[in-house]
């Protein structure tokens, strides 16, 4: 303790003997080091980096990086990408959000498991490992599809037996978790079914079941259509039409308003009736002679004219069974003439036959709804300028409505509808100083470790040069100050001894001045104070 007390006393004496400027420099450096330590400790608590996930596979690491880029979250990679670090204040929120999307997937090794075979592995263990590896590979393959966030494949292989009359069949089930806002189309479900069926020996597509996380069987066969019900192809075509119009409108508004500043929804009603019409039109003014028929009769000369009562009685047989001949009248001696003329003409009348088949799937009616984000406006309040979100000008909304109507081919007679509204979007607010500071901290966060190292090293160098070096030198060279002109206690010295003492003191002062000018200045200053 005495030694430490002596060292501390020496340091304190040395500090008090320093010039005022140097003492102020030492104090400023010491206070700066303390303030820097407090500052970086606070940043470590509030804005430091925390480990989001570790021991990630390359596929999971790439998927998580893509999601963080879309969210605009800064991150750092370490250990060849297997460790991802994010701001510590966002670690738990990001873990929950990524877990909702099935990240990380925590897959097994797949067929990489067999890269290191073992002689002690039994046949049963190898079969279990093969089945697990096959399921893992199918999980990874199915999760490559865009709408799927997570997939789990379970396969049941038949037990080997010598009885082949009724062999067991392989079965498989696939559980899929879809990404928010996305659905699986019927062709994609069929693709999953055939992918699993062709990857497993002895498995047919009819023995594969695809289920989502809500318990709905996605590959269930539909019953017969109700009369008038739309088919799967018709529904798919209707969705394609709606998505095409929606994409065109969304891309146009993004060019004007910017990304994520508008939302477009389209509902199209299509006509899937199959109509065929046949008609024939006659033109009475257009005719062509087809054929003509003429009949002429002419009779010349005398003839005997029959007389008697006309009727049935004159032609009935009498008692002898014979029909009495009709009485003939006297011959007409005058000349008899007979003439007959008849003419018939047939014409082709022109006509037009029409057979019309109306197109299927034409647009019957379309409805469009557009939401436009509000604009930030700065207003004066009691606490000062404040930025709030206000709806857009009505004239601007009318212009957007007219633009959307022209883009979709609006037809009021068809019953089309277009609605454009300006509302503040959820999750978007006017920029505030707090948000600006937070964004600045997020931008500065990647450079904080480098700044800590640089500033810490700089402060250490300054402290060493200005404080430690002089103090250490003073500890080595420090001696009690004795005035060279003060005679030592004892008998009085002679003239020769005094001259020798003065000469040695002068040499000592010269040597001290050359070795340590600062120390020499302190000694001279002390002499002046004593005088």
For residue range 385-425, list pLDDT tens digits in order. 877 888 889 999 999 999 999 999 999 998 999 999 998 88
Which has more pLDDT, 89 or 515? Answer: 89
Q: How far apart are CA 87 and CA 93, in angstroms?
A: 11
Q: What is the pLDDT of residue 484?
A: 47
* 462 against 320, higher pLDDT: 462
Mean per-residue pLDDT for 372-376? 88
**SS3 category, 317:** strand
Query: Cα dihedral angle (507, 509, 514, 519), rounded to 10 degrees?
Result: 160
Q: Hey, which of 57-66, 116-125, 164-173, 403-412 has the most confident mean pLDDT?
A: 403-412
State which of 127-136, 165-174, 245-254 shows the largest mean pLDDT: 245-254
**30 vs 40: CA distance, rounded Å:** 16
Neighbours of 116 (CB within 10 A): 7
- For 174-192, the DSSP string reads EEEEEPTT----HHHHHHH
Nearest-angstrom CA–CA distance, 1 and 106: 60
Kindly tell me if the per-residue pLDDT of 184 is higher than 90: no
pLDDT of amino acid 500: 66
Neighbours of 387 (CB within 10 A): 13
pLDDT cut 70: percent of the chain above it: 70
Short-list 281, 211, 268, 312, CA closest to 408: 268
pLDDT digits (tens, 9 = 90+) for 240-278: 899 899 999 999 999 888 888 899 999 999 888 888 888
Pick 308 or 24 by higher pLDDT. 24
Most confident residue range from 3-17, 95-109, 378-392: 378-392
pLDDT band for position 238 (50/70/90)? confident
Helix (H, G, I), strand (E, B) or coil at 281: strand
| H-helix or E-strand spanning residue 235 | helix 232-257
Confidence label for 476 from pLDDT (cuts 50, 70 and 90): low
**Least reliable range by pLDDT among 100-114, 188-202, 204-218, 355-369:** 100-114
pLDDT at 467: 67
Of 9-13, 133-137, 194-198, 451-455, the range with the highest mean pLDDT is: 194-198
Who wins on pLDDT, 509 or 390? Answer: 390
Whether the Cβ atoms of residue 61 and residue 107 lie closer than 8 Å to each other: no
Asked if residue 492 has pLDDT above 70, the reply is no
Sequence-separated (6 or more) residues with CB below 8 Å from residue 235: none
């Amino acid at each position: 303790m005495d030694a430490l007390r002596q060292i501390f006393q020496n340091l304190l004496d040395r500090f008090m003997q320093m010039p005022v400027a140097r003492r102020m420099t030492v104090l400023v450096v010491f206070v700066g080091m303390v303030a820097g330590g407090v500052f970086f400790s606070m940043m470590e608590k509030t804005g430091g980096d925390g480990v989001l996930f570790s021991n990630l596979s390359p596929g999971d690491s790439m998927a998580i990086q893509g999601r963080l880029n879309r969210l605009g979250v800064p991150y750092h990679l370490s250990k060849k990408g297997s460790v991802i670090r994010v701001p510590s204040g966002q670690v738990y929120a990001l873990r929950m959000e990524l877990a909702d999307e099935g990240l990380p997937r925590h897959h097994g090794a797949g067929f990489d498991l067999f890269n290191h075979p073992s002689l002690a592995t039994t046949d049963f263990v190898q079969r279990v490992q093969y089945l697990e590896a096959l399921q893992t590979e199918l999980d990874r393959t199915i999760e490559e599809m865009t709408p799927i966030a997570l997939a789990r494949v379970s396969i049941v292989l038949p037990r080997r037996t010598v009885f082949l009359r009724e062999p067991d069949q392989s079965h498989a089930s696939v559980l899929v978790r879809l990404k928010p806002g996305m659905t699986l189309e019927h062709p994609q479900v069929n693709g999953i079914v055939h992918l699993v069926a062709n990857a497993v020996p002895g498995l047919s597509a009819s023995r594969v079941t695809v289920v989502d996380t809500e318990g709905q069987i996605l590959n269930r066969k539909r019953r017969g259509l109700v009369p008038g019900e739309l088919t799967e192809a018709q529904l798919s075509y209707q969705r394609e039409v709606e998505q095409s119009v929606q994409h065109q409108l969304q891309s146009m508004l993004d060019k004007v308003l910017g990304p994520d500043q508008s939302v477009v929804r389209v509902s199209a009603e299509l006509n899937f009736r199959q109509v065929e019409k046949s008609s024939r039109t006659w033109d009475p003014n257009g005719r062509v002679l087809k054929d003509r028929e003429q009949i002429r009769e002419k009779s010349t000369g005398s003839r005997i004219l029959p007389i008697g009562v006309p009727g049935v009685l004159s032609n009935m047989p009498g008692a002898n069974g014979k029909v009495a001949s009709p009485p003939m009248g006297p011959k007409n001696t005058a000349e008899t003439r007979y003439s007959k003329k008849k003419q018939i003409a047939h014409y082709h009348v022109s006509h037009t036959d029409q057979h019309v088949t109306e197109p299927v799937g034409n647009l019957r009616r379309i409805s469009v709804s557009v939401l436009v984000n509000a604009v930030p406006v700065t207003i004066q309040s009691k606490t000062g300028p404040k930025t709030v979100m206000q709806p857009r000008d009505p004239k601007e909304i009318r212009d957007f409505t007219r633009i959307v109507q022209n883009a979709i081919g609006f037809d009021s007679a068809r019953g089309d509808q277009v609605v454009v509204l300006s509302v503040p979007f959820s999750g978007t607010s006017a920029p505030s100083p707090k948000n600006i500071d937070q964004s600045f901290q997020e931008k500065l966060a990647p450079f904080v470790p480098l700044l800590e190292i640089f500033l810490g090293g700089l402060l250490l160098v300054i402290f060493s040069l200005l404080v430690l070096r002089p103090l250490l030198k003073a500890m080595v060279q420090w001696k009690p100050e004795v005035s060279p002109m003060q005679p030592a206690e004892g008998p009085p010295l002679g003239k020769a001894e005094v001259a020798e003492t003065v000469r040695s003191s002068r040499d000592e002062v010269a040597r001290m001045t050359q070795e340590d000018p600062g120390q020499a200045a302190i000694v001279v200053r002390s002499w002046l104070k004593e005088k």
